[in-house]
């Protein structure tokens, strides 16, 4: 679903900074959401607009964002999954 909605292949998707999938006007809101997810270890029911490789805007809904950790608990990044999306 993530590859389809972002219009990228696996290599492009994994090499793209996630902030670039959001419009600059939404970067602050996105940063706050990620900080909340990091503080709580996860965040559920997130909703936001993203941009595909070709510039199409799409809405993701019912997303869960969680912190990825090393076995010792050190955070190494964040990941997300979502069950609903639609081009705007």
Domain chopping of the chain, boundaries? 2-87
Question: What is the distance between the alpha carbons of residues 85 and 88, in angstroms, rounded to a whole number?
Answer: 9
17-40 pLDDT per residue, tens: 888 888 888 889 889 988 898 888
Tell me, what's the pLDDT at 20?
87
Q: Any idea which architecture 2-87 has in CATH? A: 2-Layer Sandwich (3.30)
| Predicted local distance difference test score (pLDDT) of residue 51 | 93
What is the CB-side half-sphere exposure of residue 62 using CA atoms within 13 A?
A: 5
All residue ranges of the chain with pLDDT < 50 are none
């Amino acid at each position: 679903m993530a590859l389809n909605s972002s219009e990228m292949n696996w290599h492009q998707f994994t090499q793209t900074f996630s902030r670039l999938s959001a419009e600059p006007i939404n970067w602050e809101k996105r940063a706050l959401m990620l900080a909340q997810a990091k503080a709580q270890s996860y965040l559920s029911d997130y909703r936001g607009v993203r941009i595909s490789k070709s510039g199409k805007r799409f809405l993701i809904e019912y997303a869960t964002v969680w912190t990825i950790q090393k076995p010792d608990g050190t955070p190494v990044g964040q990941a997300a999954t979502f069950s609903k999306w639609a081009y705007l």
